[in-house]
Structure formats: C-alpha cells, structure tokens
Amino acid sequence: MIIPLLPKRVRKIRGSFAFVEHRFLRAGFMASLGKDELSLYFFLVMAGNREGLSYYSYDKICLMLKMYLDDYILARDGLIDKNLIAFDGYLFQVLSLPDHVLKQEVLQTPERMAMHDPATIRQFIKKSLNDAD
C-alpha cells in the first residue's frame, strides 16, 4: 500500500465531481492534444455535470483560459474532430473516450502546411498583406 506524502491533505470529493479516466493518459489521448485543446478539454471536464454537459459561452471560456478566440475555435474543433466532445452551438458534452486515439494527419510538405496549418496560413496572409502595401 502506498502511503500519501501528506496524509492530512488527501483529497476528498465534496459537492460536484469531475474526473478524467486514467486511459486518457495511458492510451495516448493526452499526448494527441495540443496545449489549447488540453486546456479546453480539462476546463469542460471540470465545468460539466455528471453527464459531462456545460453551457459556458466562448467569451467566458476564453477569459477564464486566457485564450484568444481563434485559438479557442481551433481547440474546440480539434476536440470535436477527435471525438472527445460534442457541441451544438450552446451546449458542450464531454464524451466517453472512443476506443482509440484518432490519429491526426502529419503535415509534411510545404503545400500541405499552407492548406491545413493555421500558423502557416496566418503567416501567408500577413506576408500577402505586407506585400500589397
């Protein structure tokens, strides 16, 4: 049996309850997410009720997570694409973990980066606007 480092400070569940399955770490779900996706996922886990439902608005989420709107949208859509959350425009649901991690496409060529990588697209737009001056 493992003895806690600080026995007087062992966590106790009072009131609401949020949890993340250990499989989230062990099966690679955590490693498959970017920093903003992780922040948003853990926020939604903590905000959700026992069915994983929450109604937080994007402006409140962005404020609490200190996240820009564009980054929030990318994180939200990434979690939806990875089948970890559902969203209907108002209501979020943290879903049970899928059977396996959905692999993301690796962007290996400059052409694919220009079409699918938000940072590359942003740089291309900024460069285009500067060249137009």
Render pLDDT for 94-103 as a digit per residue (tens, 0 to 9).
999 998 887 6
* Strand extents, DSSP E, 5-120: 53-54, 85-87, 92-94
DSSP-assigned letter for residue 112: H
DSSP 3-state of 74: helix
Question: Can you tell me the mean pLDDT for 75-103?
Answer: 91
**25-53 pLDDT, tens per residue?**
999 999 999 999 999 999 999 999 888 99
Average pLDDT over residues 6-14: 81
Nearest to 31 by CA among 100, 133, 91: 100
Return the CATH class of domain 20-102. mainly alpha
CA distances from 114 to 105, 108, 109, 110, 132 (A): 14, 11, 9, 6, 19
**Cα 109 from chain centre:** 26
The contacts of residue 66 (CB under 8 Å, 6+ apart) are none
In contact, 78 and 34? CB cutoff 8 Å: yes
- In the chain, residues under CATH classification 1.10.10.10 are 20-102
Q: Which of 121, 99, 94, 98 is nearest to 110 (CA)?
A: 121
